[in-house]
Amino acid sequence: MNGNDVVVDGLVHRGTTDGLNLRDDAWSIALDQRMFGPRRLLVAFAERDGAVRSLAHTMRLDPPEDALDPCIRHLGLGSVVAVAFCDEPVADAPPPDDLRARFARARSIALGWGIHLVDWIACDDQLFRSARMALGLHDMAEWWDVPAEP
């Protein structure tokens, strides 16, 4: 293993009907993302209706969105949508100046694999912040912005 290797772990849903639904459970996942360890990126991959197919997690890189591609390649291929949960500092203040560019880059990385990244949710021990909400890109009724089937 060299300095360019990224170790990705994860879980794959068995296909039963009692699994997580990303559309409904994203905020619960945000509250629980620390169970995968500190300073990690957790990505939930799902079908168009939100049915979670897999969860991938890896160490947070610098910049954090660099860890998205390895997660997609390991457990996200074939998914329609994803939400990223990143254990990173969150301040009870206006969003950081680079948030729009970081979110756009993360969406571009996912789109390169044919996956629509619904949101990038930054989480720490106390707070979490939806990139889309912080940037004013939607209201709660429009949060699940998955494009219609082609």
> pLDDT tens, position by position, for the chain (150 residues)?
455 789 999 999 877 667 789 999 999 999 888 888 899 999 999 999 999 999 999 999 999 999 999 999 999 999 999 999 999 999 999 999 999 999 999 999 999 999 999 999 999 888 899 999 999 887 666 888 898 886
The CA dihedral of 92, 97, 100, 102, to the nearest 10 degrees, is -90
Place of tokens 């979490």: 128
Q: Nearest Cα to 22, choosing from 3, 46, 41?
A: 46
Q: State the chain's maximal CA–CA distance in angstroms.
A: 45
pTM over 0.85: yes
Q: In the structure encoding, which two tokens stand for residue 119, read together?
A: 């949101």
Structural domains of the chain sorted by starting position, each given as residue range(s) with its CATH number in brackets: 8-142 (3.40.140.10)
Stated as kind and residue range, the H or E segment containing 91 is none
